[in-house]
Structure 1
C-alpha cells in the first residue's frame, strides 16, 4: 500500500466532520421490518435453528469439562470414548442444523431481493417522462441491483449474526458465572474497550459506504452510456477513448481508495479487539490456574471456562462489528427507499374513466406549460453532480387553443425550440398542462385513466426506438396476442414486408440494440407497422421523416397514409412539404400559435410559414 493511501486511511479515522451528519431517517427501521412480514414463518424457523446452534456452542465446552474431570484424570477410558463420540455427534448435528438454517436464510434473502427489485422496477416505470430526462440510467440500475442486494444482507447475514451472537453471549456468560464467577468478572472488566469505539467506527463506515455507492452508480452510468452503439460511435468518431479511460480510472481510483480506507478501518478495529480478547484470555488462564492449584476449581472447569471465553469474545467481536454491518445495510435500504418515495407526477385522478371510443375530437383550450423543477421530478443522487438545467425556466407554451376534428390531420410547424414536441407530449399526458385544458370529445384527458388514454394514442417519433429483440417481439409490444397474419398485414401496409420476407429468420430476426441492424427508414417503417397493430384512434407523428433520404421518405410516406387513414392525427413536421395536405396547419413561434390555416392560405399570407417554406424550397432546389 502506498504511503499516501496509509496516510489517507488514518487521517479519515481521526477527523471527518461528515461523519457527524450521518443519521438514519425516522421510521427507517420500522419500514424495513415491514418487508419481513410475508416471511414471518420462515424467519421464525430460521431463528429457531440459530438458537439451537447457539446452544450447541455451549455444550461442547461442558462435555470437555466432563471429559477431563471424569474421564482423563480418573483414567476412565469408557467414559472418554463415550464423551468423544458425543462431541463428534454434536458437530454432525450442528452441521445439519446449519445447512437447514442456511436454506431458510436463502429463501428469505432471495424472496426479499425479488420483492424489492420488483417494487423498485414497477415504481420507476410509473415515473413521468420528465424523471427520465434528468436521471442517469446507470444510477437507477445501481439502485435496483447493488443497493437491493445490500439491503437483503440486513435480513440474512446481519439478522442471523445478531440473534446467534446475542443468544450465544447470554448462554456463555451464564454458564461461565455458574462455573466460576471470579474468572467471569475479571474477563468482563475489559468489556468497555469493545463497546466504546463501535459507534464512531459505524458512522465512519456508513459515510464511506454512501460515497462508494454513489461513485459506483456514476461508473455504472458511464458504462451504460458508452457501452452501446450510439455511445461507442460518438467516442470513436471524436477520438476520445483515452479521455473516457481517464475519466473512468479517476472514479475507479476513488472507489479503490474508499475500499482501502474501509479495509484498514475494519482491520485496525478488529486487531485491537482481538488483542483485548487475548489479554482477557491470559488473565483467565492466570487466575484460573491459581484457583485450580488451590483446589477452588477443577482442571476440567478451567479448560471449559477458557473454551467458553473463546466463544465469549467471538460473539462480542461480531456484535462490535455488527453496527458496521447494519449501517452498511441500512444505507442500501435508505437508497432504495429514496426511489420508492418518489411520487409519480402523472397519476389517475379519483374516479377516472376508461376511454374506449374510436372516433375522437381533440381540443386544446388556452393551454400553457412550464417544465417542472428538478426537485419535483428527480433525486440529486440520481443525477450528475452540478448538472445544469436542461430547459429554461418560464412558460414553454402560452395560450394554445385549437380543435382537431375526428379523422382530420393537424400539422404543427415552426422553427426549432418553438415548442412543437412539447405540445405533442401533452396529449398522451407525458406531461400535464400548467394551465388550461386538453379535451377529447369534450372531456378533460385527466378524467380518463392514463392507461386507457395512452391505449388510444399511437406515436411514431423521429428516432423510433426498438428493443434488442426480434422483429416479432418489437411488433407485439403494441399487441401481445398479434398473430403472424396480423403482423404480415401491418408490415405490408407499412412497406416493410418486402424486406422481412427476404430475411433468413423472418420475424425472428434480431434487430440489434436500438434497432441498429436496420437503416433509419427500415426502423421507421417497422415502427409504423407496430403502430398499425395497436390500431389507435389518435396518431401523433413527431418528425417521423425528418432525416430520411428521398427513397426511404417515399416509402415511409406511403406507409403513413395507411396509418393516418380514418384517424385523428397530430403531425409535427420539419419538412413542410410533408404537411401540404393537412386539414389545418398551426405555426408555432416561441410557444405561441402565430399563424393557422391550410397550406395555400398560409402561403398567400406571406408570414412565417411562407418564409419557412420558401427557405426549404430553395434548399431542396
Structure 2
C-alpha cells in the first residue's frame, strides 16, 4: 500500500468487495445508455449469427455445387451460394462498423462519466483527506486507474455477448454436422476454463501492484517536477538522488508490467496448441469413422466442420481474454470504488439553511447585498483526525465573540492553534466539541457553499494557476468585467504594476505564480478576494513571508480590503495588528488573553512578552 494513500488506510477496516458486488456496480455504470446498449446487443447477435452461416454454406458448396452426387459442377447452385456468402460478408462488415461506433461511444462516455464522478466526489472530501494523501496518488486514481479500465468498459459487453453467441452457434452447427467430432473438439475445454480462472487471479493481484507502483511514480513526478520541487532539489544538489528514486520505481514498474504481460501467455500458448491441434485430431477421427462405415461423414462435412471449429477457436480465446481482462480490471475498479465509497467527514445536513434567507430568493450565482456578519466560538475543542491518543487538543475550550464589522487578530507562539481557528470558521474541519457560530448560527446548520461564499481567505502561501492574471482573478467571480478587475486591483494596490507588464492582465503568471514576486502574488490574491466581496475576511499570516518593503505595500492593500468587513487576522508579526479592535492570544490551544494592543501591553502577559521579543529582534536591522 502506498504510504501516501489515505483512502487505502481508511478502507482497511472496510469489508473487501465481492466479485458479484463489483459486477453489479460496473453494470450500473451502463444504466444511462440502456437504449444504445440494447441496439449494440442486437447487432452483436446478428453479427454472431451471420458468422456461423458461411461455414454451413461451405458444406453445400462442396456437396451440392462443386461435387454433386449426379456428377459435374452445378453452376446455378454454386453461383447462388457464393453470392449469398458474399452478401453475408458485406452485411457483417457494415454491422461491425456500426457496432464499433456504438461500443466506442458507450464505453468512452461511461469512462468519462466515471472520471467526472470521481473528480466531483474528491471535491467534496474534507481538507484532512488532502493533507494525508499525496497529490500524485490522487492523480493516478483519476488517470491511470480510470484509463486502465477503458478496454473493459468499451469492449466487454459486445465481446462477451458476441463471442458467447458465436461459441454457442458454432457448437450447435458442429453438433448438426457430426456429434462424435464435436465431443472430440470440446472434451478438454472445462480444464481450460479452470486454468483461466487461476491465471486471472494472479493477473488481478499483479494489476493491483502495478497501479500502486504507478501511483508512487505519479507522486514522485508531482513532488519533484513542480517548480517548488525542482528548486529544492537544485538547492540541495539532490538531482541524482531524485533520478535514482524515480529510476528505482520505474524498474519496479517495468518488472510488474512484464509479469502482467507474461502471466497469461503460457496459458494462451497451451490453449493455442490445443485448439490448433484439434483439426488434425478431427481428420484422424473422421478417417476412423469412415473406415468404420459411417455414411454421414463426407468431404463437405469434414471441410465445413473444421471451418466451424476454427470459428469456435477465436471467440473462445476471446472469451477467455475478456474473462482475464475483467479479473484484472476488477482490481482497478476496486481502487476506484474505494475512493467513491469514502464518505466526506464534513457534509451538509438535510435541513441545512443558507447564511441569509434572502439567498434563496436570489438568482442562481447571485448573493444579496453584503452585510456585516459576526463570528463566535463557544467552548470549542478540536483535535486533528490523526492526533495520537493522549495528545493534547489543538484547541481546548476556546470561547470568544467578534462583533460584525470588527477587526480581530489572533496571535501566539507557533503551534498554538491560531490557524486552526481560521479552518474551523469556514468548516474546513469540524470542531470536536463546542459550537462555532457564523451570523449567529451554528456552522453545522448552514449550507457549506453558502457559508464559504461569505468568507474570503488570504493565506501566507498564495496559490495562482498557470494562467493569465485575469483568469486567476476571475476564479473568484467568473463573470467579472474588465472594469471590475481593474477596480479590485486598484484597491489591492497592484493595478499599476500589472499595467507595466507588456501583456497587462493577460500576462501568464507561471506555475504557482513563480514569475511574480511574493508581494505581487499577495496583492493579486487580495484583489481576487475583493472581487469575491465577502462579508468576513480571514488573513492567515498574509505578510509573514514578505520583506519589509513588500509588507508595507501589501499592508496598504489589506487596509483597503478590510474596510467595512469583519476581519480575522492570524498574525506572526505583531506590528501588523496593533490597530486591531480586539486581539486574542492563543497559547497551548487555550485562549489566555484578549484586549486591545495597549491593554495587553499593560497586563505584561504573553502578548507583551511576544511583542517585546519581536521589537528587540527588529532593533539591529533598524540601526
Residue 178 of structure 1, CA deviation: 0.8
Name 1:363's counterpart in structure 2.
Answer: 376
How far is 1:570 from its partner? 0.7
Which range moves more in the overlay, 76-85 or 510-519?
A: 76-85
Mapped contact 1:173–1:312 kept (Cα < 8 A): yes
Farther-moved stretch of structure 1 (485-494 vs 23-32) = 23-32
Report Cα offsets for 1:483-505 as digits up to 9, x if no partner: 11111111001010001112222
CA contact (8 A) 1:539 1:564 kept: yes
Task: Tell me how far 1:393 sits from its aligned partner.
Answer: 4.3
Aligned partners of 2:395 and 2:589 also within 8 Å? yes
CA deviations 1:5-34 (Å, max 9, x no partner) are xxxxxxxxxxxxxxxx99736622222211
- The 5 Å alignment of 1:232-271 reads 232-271=230-269
- Looking at structure 2, the residues matched to 529 and 335 of structure 1 have their Cα atoms a distance apart, in angstroms, of 41
State the shift of 1:153 in Å: 2.7
Corresponding residue number in structure 2 for 1:196: 194
Q: CA deviation at 1:349?
A: 1.8
| Alignment partner of 2:543 out of 542, 545, 566 | 545
Q: Which residue is equivalent to 2:320?
A: 320
- What does residue 230 of structure 1 align with? 228
1:422 counterpart residue number: 420
Q: How does 1:479-490 map to 2 (within 5 A)?
A: 479-490=477-488
Residue 590 of structure 2 corresponds to residue 592 of structure 1: yes
3-state SS, counterpart of residue 546 of structure 2: coil
| 1:398 aligns with one of 396, 399, 405 | 396
Structure 2 residue aligned with 1:27: 21
1:180 Cα deviation from its structure 2 partner: 0.6
**Contact 2:204–2:329 (8 Å) recurs in 1:** no
2:34 corresponding residue in structure 1: 40
Residues 309-348 of structure 1 mapped to structure 2, 5 A cutoff? 309-348=309-348
Counterpart CA distance in 2 for 1:289 and 1:104 is 46
> 1:105 Cα deviation (Å)?
0.3
Cα pair 2:144 2:214 within 8 Å, conserved: no
Matched residue SS, 2:537: strand
User: Which residue in 2 is equivalent to 1:220?
Assistant: 218
CA positional deviation for 1:317:
2.3
Query: In terms of mean alpha carbon deviation, does 414-423 or 80-89 score higher?
Result: 80-89
> 1:208 maps to what in 2?
206
Alpha-carbon shift at residue 451 of structure 1 (Å): 0.8
Is the counterpart of residue 69 in structure 1 residue 66 in structure 2? no
TM-score by length of 2: 0.91
Q: Give the TM-score of the pair, scaled to structure 1.
A: 0.91
Distance in structure 2 (CA, Å) of the matches to 1:572 and 1:199: 60
Gaps of 5+ in 1: 1-20, 375-388
**Corresponding residue for 2:606?**
608
Contact 1:355-1:453 within 8 A present in 2 as well: yes
For residue 316 of structure 1, report the CA deviation from its aligned partner.
Answer: 2.3
Measured after TM superposition, the shift of residue 414 of structure 1 is 1.0
Is residue 2:612 matched to residue 1:618? no
Q: Relative to structure 1, is the Cα distance of residues 618 and 25 closer, same or farther in structure 2, using a 3 angstrom cutoff?
A: farther
Query: How many Å apart are 1:78 and its aligned residue?
Result: 4.6
Would the aligned equivalents of 2:346 and 2:429 in 1 still touch at CA under 8 Å?
yes
Distance 2:207 2:51 in 1: 33
In 1: Cα distance, 2:83 partner to 2:424 partner: 78
Q: How does 1:53-132 map to 2 (within 5 A)?
A: 53-73=47-67, 74-132=72-130
Count of residues in Structure 1 that have an aligned counterpart in Structure 2: 586
Q: 1:523-562 residue pairs with structure 2 within 5 A?
A: 523-562=521-560
Contact 2:373 2:439 in 1 (8 A): yes
Contact persistence 1:277–1:313 (CA under 8 A):
yes
Quote how far apart the aligned CAs of 1:363 are: 1.1
Contact 1:292 1:302 in 2 (8 A): no
Matched, 1:185 2:194: no
1:50 corresponding residue in structure 2: 44
Structure 1 segment 348-387 matched on structure 2, within 5 A: 348-356=348-356, 358-373=371-386
The 2-side partners of 1:235 and 1:52 are apart by: 61
> How far does residue 188 in structure 1 lie from its aligned partner after superposition?
1.7
Cα distance in 1 for residues equivalent to 2:262 and 2:191: 19
Deviation at 1:292?
5.0
Quick check: 2:108–2:154 contact (8 Å CA) kept in 1?
A: no
Q: Contact (CA 8 Å) 2:355, 2:439: kept in 1 or not?
A: no
Quickly say closer, same or farther: Cα 1:23–1:398, change in 2 above 3 A: closer
Per the TM alignment, residue 231 of structure 1 is displaced from its structure 2 partner at its CA by: 0.9
